[in-house]
C-alpha cells in the first residue's frame, strides 16, 4: 500500500501583509495623536448627552473639586498680550522671555503676584506646585480682569487679521471668542456660581459648559 504523502507545508509564513498593515496603523496613530498638554489639575467633568464640540477659540475657566479657579486661553498671541495688559494693571513687570514662556503654557491657577515665579519654574517643579487658584472676590477680582483683557485682546487680534485679509483680498471668517467653564463634577455648585457671576458682571451671558459625552442608555 502506498504511503499517503502529506503535503509538506512550509512552517514560515509570509508576514509582509501583516507588517504592512501594522506599520500603516502605527503611522496613522502617530499622525493623529496629539500630545497631551499637562494641566495643573485633573478635572473630572460630568457627563451629558450633548454632542456639540467645544469651539476652538475659547477662554476657559477651570474649577477643580476644591473650588479653585484656573484660567486658560488658547491663542498664543492673545495670551502674550493679555499677560502684558495684566502686568500693567497690577504693576508686575514681565521680561520678554517670561512672556514667551507664559504663552507656551496651558492653564494656570496662581494670583498675578506669584505668577512671575510660577513662570520661572521648571516643568516638573511647576507640575508639582500647588496652585492656590486665581482670586475672584469683589475686592481682588483678578479672574474678571483676565477675562476682560483676554476678550479685548482677542477682539483686537481678530480685527488685525481682518484688516490683513482685506488688504490681501482674502475672505475672513470672524469667529468671536467663546467662554467655557470646565468644572469638576464634585465641585460645589456655589463655586461655579461665583465664576458665572464674574462672567455675568462682565455682561457675558452665554457659556459652554464642558462635559463628557455620555453613553446613551437606550
Binding site for another protein (CB under 8 A): 12, 15-16, 18-19, 22-23, 25-26, 29-30, 32-34, 36, 45-46, 48-55, 63, 180, 182-193, 196, 199-200, 203, 205-214
| Nearer to another protein (CB atom), residue 117 or residue 200 | 200
- Distance of closest approach, residue 38 Cβ to another protein, in angstroms: 14
With b for 16 or more beta-carbon neighbours within 10 A and e for fewer, the 38-70 pattern comes to ebbbebeeeeeeeeeeeeeebbbbbbbbebbbb
What phi and psi values does residue 38 have, to the nearest 5 degrees? -85, 120
d(CA 143, CA 110): 10
| Nearer to another protein (CB atom), residue 93 or residue 203 | 203
- Distance of closest approach, residue 155 Cβ to another protein, in angstroms: 20
| Nearer to another protein (CB atom), residue 64 or residue 153 | 64
Distances (CA, A) of 115 to 35, 50, 105: 25, 35, 12
- Distance of closest approach, residue 120 Cβ to another protein, in angstroms: 30
134: closest CA among 60, 44, 212? 60
- Distance of closest approach, residue 148 Cβ to another protein, in angstroms: 17
| Nearer to another protein (CB atom), residue 23 or residue 172 | 23
Amino acid at each position: 500500500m502506498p504511503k499517503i504523502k502529506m503535503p509538506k507545508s512550509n512552517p514560515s509564513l509570509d508576514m509582509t501583509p501583516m507588517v504592512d498593515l501594522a506599520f500603516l496603523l502605527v503611522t496613522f496613530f502617530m499622525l493623529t495623536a496629539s500630545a497631551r498638554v499637562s494641566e495643573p489639575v485633573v478635572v473630572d467633568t460630568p457627563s451629558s448627552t450633548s454632542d456639540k464640540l467645544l469651539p476652538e477659540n475659547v477662554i476657559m475657566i477651570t474649577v477643580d473639586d476644591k473650588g479653585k479657579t484656573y484660567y486658560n486661553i488658547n491663542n498664543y498671541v492673545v495670551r502674550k498680550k493679555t499677560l502684558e495688559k495684566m502686568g500693567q494693571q497690577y504693576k508686575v513687570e514681565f521680561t520678554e522671555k517670561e512672556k514667551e514662556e507664559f504663552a507656551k503654557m496651558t492653564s494656570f491657577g496662581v494670583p498675578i503676584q506669584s505668577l512671575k515665579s510660577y513662570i520661572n519654574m521648571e516643568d516638573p517643579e511647576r507640575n508639582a506646585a500647588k496652585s492656590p487658584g486665581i482670586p475672584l472676590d469683589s475686592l481682588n477680582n483678578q479672574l474678571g480682569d483676565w477675562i476682560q483683557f483676554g476678550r479685548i485682546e482677542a477682539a483686537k487680534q481678530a480685527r488685525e487679521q481682518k484688516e490683513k485679509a482685506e488688504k490681501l483680498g482674502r475672505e475672513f471668517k470672524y469667529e468671536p471668542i467663546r467662554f467655557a467653564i470646565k468644572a469638576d463634577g464634585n465641585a460645589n455648585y456655589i463655586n461655579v456660581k461665583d465664576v458665572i457671576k464674574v462672567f455675568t458682571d462682565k455682561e457675558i451671558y452665554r457659556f459652554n459648559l464642558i462635559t463628557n459625552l455620555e453613553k446613551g442608555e437606550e
